[in-house]
Amino acid sequence: MLNIERTTRPKLSVLDLSPIAEGSHAGQSFKHTLDLAQHAEKWGYHRYWLAEHHGMPGIASAATSILIGHVAAGTSSIRVGAGGIMLPNHSPLVIAEQFGTLESLFPKRIDLGVGRAPGSDQSTARALRRNLDSDADAFPQDVMELLDYFSAEPKRPVKAIPGTGLEIPVWILGSSLFGAQLAAALGLPFAFASHFAPANMLQAIEIYRETFKPSQYLDKPYLMLGFNVFAADTEEEAIFLASSMQQAFVNLRSGNPTRLPPPVFDLWNQLGGAERAILNQVLSCSAIGDGKKVISDMLAFIAKTGADELMITSQIFDHTARLRSYEITANVYKTTLFEAKT
């Protein structure tokens, strides 16, 4: 059984894409990632996840397991993991060995979230796998193979060394109903990408909770939801900081991914109707403002979803401002009283 502590107060965690800002480079992004992780640990965040993306000019976390090792080595208590590894890009055995290695180096601190999207376009996916025979349709079988490699008594003759017998929490990630169904069927914790694909969130939550089957891994559903936060000392500053992520997301959806651009004033009035529609959807799971506004929006989101954990992501151009956003979020959250769940 996975050791996932349940509390009345939903946990707060960090999702970091290790953004590459305009005028910067991957090496600087990695320094900022470690610095943010060290601060997040001090501020009481529960876990720190990094995501696998490929061929994206503004995301440096392609070699996700290597970066997880870098962060885990530079921290001491915060859980570190993948949110997630895009399993169709890899052999399950290779991932079992990588995360078996990480768990052996950093015992009881490693998480493995897996998703079925390639985290790239088709050309990049083909370059990663050389062929597309092992596609997303094989994802459930790949997950079960991965779980078997971590078992104390694997059914397969090939063993993951290190990996066999290690209790590494495996999460199912998703932005559609498929992930919810699979997580429920396998009795695994579920993380939904509501921070960028909120359309199916409520339906996915319902499916996961209503069809969940207790397993050797988990006795009842455990739900994590992605949530964007742009916190600053004033609401005006927070709106300004959020414009970097908004520009980047519009660029991505327009087929022109870029490095994280600097913020601009009055972005909303510079956008067309189609661009505003894109942002209205993605920002539905977001909090932008000072501490009072942020905690109000977070509490409303928790009340609406009953999440066991929020995975906070803050795509902010300036590193110091990004740190401040996470600090404000942690501080206002700590001082909030929660009633027990019924």
Average pLDDT, the chain: 92
- Residues with Cβ within 8 Å of 283's Cβ and at least 6 positions away in sequence, in order, are 228, 246
245 and 140 both lie in a single domain: no
271 lies in a domain? Answer: yes
122 lies in a domain? Answer: yes
Q: What is the pLDDT of residues 101-132, one digit of tens each?
A: 999 999 999 999 999 976 556 677 677 765 55
| Spatial separation of the C-alpha atoms in residues 310 and 11, rounded to whole Å | 6
253 lies in a domain? Answer: yes
145 and 240 both lie in a single domain: no
Q: What is the pLDDT of residues 294-342, one digit of tens each?
A: 999 999 999 999 999 999 999 999 999 999 999 999 999 999 877 645 3
6 lies in a domain? Answer: no
pLDDT at 281: 85
* E strand or H helix that includes residue 329: helix 319-334
* Residue 8 structure tokens: 């009345």
307 lies in a domain? Answer: yes
Tokens 């796998």 appear where?
Answer: 129
Amino acid at 122: Q
pLDDT at 123: 73
308 and 270 both lie in a single domain: yes
293 and 184 both lie in a single domain: no
Choose between 1 and 69: higher pLDDT: 69
The residue range of the domain holding 263 is: 227-314
Q: Which of 168, 169, 146 is nearest to 156 (CA)?
A: 146
pLDDT at 342: 38
* Residue 153 structure tokens: 């008594």
236 lies in a domain? Answer: yes
67 and 159 both lie in a single domain: yes
Choose between 185 and 339: higher pLDDT: 185
38 and 111 both lie in a single domain: yes
Q: What is the CATH number of the domain that holds 37?
A: 3.20.20.30
78 and 219 both lie in a single domain: yes
274 and 326 both lie in a single domain: no
305 lies in a domain? Answer: yes
341 lies in a domain? Answer: no
End-to-end CA distance of the chain: 24
Residue 174 has pLDDT above 60, yes or no: yes
| Spatial separation of the C-alpha atoms in residues 230 and 242, rounded to whole Å | 6
Cα distances (angstroms) measured from residue 127 to each of 54, 130, 131, 142, 316: 10, 5, 8, 20, 31
Q: What is the DSSP letter of 261?
A: P
Number of structural domains the chain divides into:
2
Residue 135 has pLDDT above 70, yes or no: no
199 and 76 both lie in a single domain: yes
212 and 234 both lie in a single domain: no
| Spatial separation of the C-alpha atoms in residues 238 and 247, rounded to whole Å | 15
163 and 129 both lie in a single domain: yes
Stated pTM of the model: 0.94
The CB density around residue 215, as the number of other CB atoms within 10 Å, is 15
Q: What are phi and psi of 86, to 5 degrees?
A: -85, 95
161 and 298 both lie in a single domain: no
